[in-house]
Amino acid sequence: MKTIIISLLLLTTLTGFCQDIPRDPDSGKFKFEQVIQGENLSKEELYERSKNWIIGTLKSSDNMVQLDDEDKDAIIATGNAILSDQNYGWWGSAYRNIILNFKFKTYFKENRLKVIVDNFSIHYDFISASSSQARNSTLEEGFQKEGYIKGDKKTAKMYEEVDPIITALISDFKKSVLNEIQEVNDDDW
């Protein structure tokens, strides 16, 4: 009976720690997706406003996959976010310099656009008492097994950070594209 209860608790813990990040039902990979209505905004206007936000916010124009689309159907960009370090306590092991990398995709139609943020990966340094090693992993895999240390708890903490970061990014994008406030400078330069 004890083993059944422990097994159920373990299963609940393992399946529950990444509930906040939406997943694609087909691939099982993390994926944020939102359709945004842009009343009275043409496809071209939505495209240009999105392009301006992406260049100014993601600051990854050197990594753009597709920035100038003749038909103004899509923009695909790369973005990064810095996540909190994860320490392992008294024996000195930690995950440091955690960078979340993702694709920020926008697709355009008259009066609406679709935003998809997916293809997540993490880049981090695994620090132990005896060494420091750079590591890469998909976000779904979380921190790789590091010898006798498993990153499940630290992965769960990292997942808790990702959802609000990406949700805020999409919210800022939506607000900026739909409301695009133009600053007017009265100086005649």
What is the C-alpha to C-alpha distance for residues 47 and 111, in angstroms, rounded to an integer?
Answer: 11
φ and ψ at 136, to 5 degrees?
A: -130, 145
- What residues pair up with 58 in beta bridges, in sequence order? none
The secondary structure element, H or E, covering residue 59 is: none
Find all residues with CB under 8 Å of 91, minimum gap 6, and list them. Answer: 129
Output the CA torsion sign for 39, 40, 42, 47: negative
Mean pLDDT of successive 10-residue segments in the chain (189 residues)?
Answer: 36 46 94 93 92 84 60 89 84 86 94 96 88 91 74 85 96 90 48
Q: Which amino acid is at 37?
A: Q
Q: Are 32 and 38 in contact (CB under 8 A)?
A: no
- Per-residue model confidence (pLDDT) at position 7: 35
- Per-residue model confidence (pLDDT) at position 11: 37
What is the C-alpha to C-alpha distance for residues 73 and 85, in angstroms, rounded to an integer?
Answer: 38
- Per-residue model confidence (pLDDT) at position 12: 38
Q: Are 85 and 97 in contact (CB under 8 A)?
A: yes
- Per-residue model confidence (pLDDT) at position 154: 85
Which residue in the block uniquely carries the two structure tokens 């440091």? 96
Task: Of 74, 167, 155, 161, give the one whose Cα is nearest residue 117.
Answer: 167
Q: Are 82 and 102 in contact (CB under 8 A)?
A: no
- Per-residue model confidence (pLDDT) at position 79: 93
21 three-class SS: coil
